[in-house]
């Protein structure tokens, strides 16, 4: 299409390329109201015109309906205000008709918002961040000292008053007081036993010590501690998240859901109309706990004191090596999978080893595993680990994850550094008192008791990862700069992998070095990387 000079200048405001090539015409869509952008994306399936031409057609129609011409539009920033008044209503009606009334949910994925969610508990944070279809960034308990006493008080517990409210408050007061003291004492201990060595950079050394101190001290934090995070999410996913939150029994969850919806509606006034409490989700929250109680599986025999976590392999593909090799070759062959699998199974172990070696030989240090390595039955693990470590493992949302209701019944983990620094007795006393108080809260408010279940207490989690994700998890989380608890989970997974699939396991690059030295190396390397980036930016 040949554009006028005015059309060309107008299009340049909203599309990065005005006159594209005959083939591979790729351009950035920018500065448009979210629902307008989603509409333009949605009409691809109903028109042979380009997005630029659809934009001009719809804008012209909207202006003509107001008795105006396209050329009457101001250019630049002022034009954006007109777009909202001229196109947004029509876009909203289109999206309501197709995305909502007709159920074409993919159209909602064309609208994306960036929300900042601040001063909310770790409990609601973990619930929202289970969602696999959006991106999150959260305050780190490793790099940030949670020095302010900012906890969520569940309003139902507060309204109940009496012993249950006092028990809730006692956990927050006791654990946070020792967290504050332990953060300082652990750092001082590390400075004494690991003084700065020649050749080490002081800034990197200090960051390393603080990270290790916070890693241990955070075991005394509770999910009631307030945090903050950013969320980039499409309208379809946000609608699901808000519906789940507004259907939840806990008051904070409903409140956060309502506020997320209210703010997102500034950008997406149409697409969140169906985000409201859902009767089926509410019924599940009532019926599943009742059924678990009837079956006698809703509670565990309590374990007092310190306890060790473990990782169990529940299920795996007994033909894993053969199926993965067949999956790698599948796209490059022309025979049915069963026939390809039989051909691989007919190879000797040495031939299979050589085949995979040839596939993986060129893999660099930052290269992912080939996607074909997803093509086997997944591994299913059950992990008993502290909640603090699960906060990091929970970021691996590509796999299926289930976490049981937070409890103090499985005992608590003791970070080695706490023992080394002579804090084990005080740490154990505080957590024993916290467990008793948490159980008093749980008798009446089992979900709200999660707010006062310190990070140190072990929780049972089910993880279902495909083989490629297992390899990625082990390689990333076994790094010596990582947290000692999830490092152990990664190494336990690798041990299971070596037992059931030695061919596959030998290509997993696990790292089993010393934690402190690995973390210090990482921090010093980070300084050097930052220096090179700054120098490159200056040269540019």
135 φ, ψ (degrees, to nearest 5): -115, 145
In the predicted model, is pLDDT for residue 530 greater than 80? no
Higher pLDDT, 124 or 40: 124
pLDDT tens digits, one per residue of 211-264:
889 889 999 999 999 988 998 898 889 999 999 999 999 999 999 999 999 988
- Do 120 and 224 form a contact (C-beta atoms < 8 A)? no
For residue 458, the surrounding DSSP H or E stretch is: strand 458-465
pLDDT of residue 110: 61
What's the confidence (pLDDT) of residue 100?
46
CA distance 36 to 211: 45
Band of residue 42 on the pLDDT scale cut at 50, 70, 90: confident
CATH 3.30.70.3180 domain span(s) along the chain: 113-294
pLDDT of 270 over the 80 cut: no
Summarize pLDDT for 434-477 with one digit per residue, the tens: 999 999 999 999 999 999 999 999 999 999 999 999 999 999 88
Residue 115 bridge partners (DSSP): 231
| Residue labelled with tokens 């490793």 | 142
Q: Phi first, then psi: what are they for 231, rounded to 5°?
A: -140, 125
| CATH of 113-294 among 3.40.50.1820, 3.30.70.3180, 3.90.650.10, 3.40.50.300 | 3.30.70.3180
Task: Tell me the per-residue pLDDT of 49-74, one tens digit each, with 9 for 90 and over.
Answer: 888 988 888 888 878 877 888 887 77
Over residues 315-339, the pLDDT tens digits come to 999 999 999 999 999 999 999 999 9
Helix, strand or coil, per DSSP, at residue 119: strand
Burial class (CB in 10 A: 0-12, 13-18, 19+), 283: exposed
**Phi and psi dihedrals of 324, rounded to 5?**
-70, -40
Which carries the bigger pLDDT value, residue 44 or residue 534?
44
C-alpha atoms less than 13 angstroms from C-alpha of 141 in its C-beta half-sphere:
25
135-138 β-sheet, strand order = 112-121, 226-234, 135-138
How far, in Å, CA of 438 to CA of 441, rounded?
Answer: 5
pLDDT digit string, tens, across residues 155-212: 999 999 999 999 999 999 999 999 999 999 999 999 999 898 888 888 888 888 888 8
- Could you tell me what percent of the chain has a pLDDT over 70? 87
Alpha helices in 445-506 (DSSP H): 467-477, 484-500, 502-505
Residue 271 has pLDDT above 80, yes or no: no
Question: Which range has the worst mean pLDDT, 28-32, 44-48, 108-112, 519-523?
Answer: 519-523
> CA 410 to CA 418: how far, in whole Å?
20
As a whole number of angstroms, the distance between CA 439 and CA 452 comes to 10
Q: Quick one: tokens of 252?
A: 């904070």
14/76 Cα distance (integer angstroms): 10
**Tens of pLDDT, residues 479-496:** 877 778 888 999 999 999
Alpha carbons within 13 angstroms on the beta-carbon side of residue 46 total: 9
Element at 512 (helix H, strand E): none
Mean predicted lDDT score pLDDT of the chain: 86
């Amino acid at each position: 299409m040949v554009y006028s000079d005015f059309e060309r200048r107008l299009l340049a405001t909203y599309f990065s390329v005005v006159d594209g090539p005959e083939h591979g015409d790729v351009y950035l869509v920018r500065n448009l109201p979210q629902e307008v952008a989603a509409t333009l994306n949605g009409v691809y399936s109903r028109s042979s015109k380009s997005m630029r031409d659809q934009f001009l057609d719809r804008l012209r129609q909207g202006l003509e309906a107001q008795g105006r011409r396209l050329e009457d539009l101001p250019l630049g920033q002022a034009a954006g205000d007109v777009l909202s008044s001229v196109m947004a209503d029509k876009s909203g009606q289109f999206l309501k008709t197709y995305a909502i009334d007709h159920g074409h949910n993919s159209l909602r994925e064309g609208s994306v918002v960036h929300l900042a969610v601040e001063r909310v508990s770790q409990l609601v944070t973990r619930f929202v961040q289970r969602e696999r279809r959006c991106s999150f960034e959260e305050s780190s308990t490793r790099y940030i000292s949670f020095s302010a006493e900012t906890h969520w008080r569940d309003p139902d517990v507060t309204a109940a008053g009496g012993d249950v409210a006092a028990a809730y408050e006692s956990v927050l007061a006791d654990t946070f007081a020792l967290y504050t003291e332990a953060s300082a004492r652990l750092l001082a201990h590390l400075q004494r036993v690991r003084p700065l060595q020649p050749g080490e950079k002081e800034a990197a050394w200090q960051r390393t010590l603080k990270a290790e101190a916070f890693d241990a001290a955070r075991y005394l934090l509770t999910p009631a501690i307030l945090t903050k995070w950013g969320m980039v999410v499409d309208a379809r996913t946000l609608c699901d998240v808000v519906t789940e939150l507004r259907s939840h029994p806990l008051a904070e969850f409903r409140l956060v859901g309502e506020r997320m919806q209210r703010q997102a509606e500034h950008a997406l006034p149409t697409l969140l109309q169906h985000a409201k409490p859902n009767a089926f989700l509410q019924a599940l929250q009532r019926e599943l706990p009742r059924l678990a109680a009837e079956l006698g599986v809703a509670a565990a025999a309590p374990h007092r004191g310190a306890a060790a976590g473990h990782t169990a392999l529940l299920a795996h593909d007994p033909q894993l090596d053969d199926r993965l090799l067949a999956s790698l070759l599948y796209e490059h062959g022309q025979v049915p999978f069963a026939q390809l699998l039989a051909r691989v199974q007919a190879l000797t172990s040495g031939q299979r080893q050589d085949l995979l070696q040839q596939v993986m030989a060129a893999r660099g240090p930052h290269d992912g595993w080939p996607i074909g390595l997803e093509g086997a039955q997944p591994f299913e693990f059950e992990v008993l680990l502290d909640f603090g470590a699960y906060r990091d493992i929970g970021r691996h949302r590509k796999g299926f994850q289930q976490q049981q209701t937070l409890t103090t019944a499985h005992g608590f983990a003791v970070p080695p550094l706490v023992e080394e620094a002579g804090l084990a007795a005080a740490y154990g006393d505080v957590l024993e008192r916290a467990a008793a108080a948490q159980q008093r809260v749980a008798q009446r408010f089992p979900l709200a008791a999660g707010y006062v279940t310190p990070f140190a207490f072990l929780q049972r989690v089910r993880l279902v990862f495909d083989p490629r994700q297992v390899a990625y998890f082990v390689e990333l989380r076994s790094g010596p700069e990582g947290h000692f608890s999830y490092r152990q989970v990664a190494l336990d997974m690798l041990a299971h992998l070596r037992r059931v699939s030695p061919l596959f396991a030998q290509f997993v690059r696990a790292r089993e070095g010393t934690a402190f030295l690995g973390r210090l190396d990482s921090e010093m390397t980070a300084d050097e990387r930052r220096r090179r980036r700054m120098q490159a930016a200056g040269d540019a």
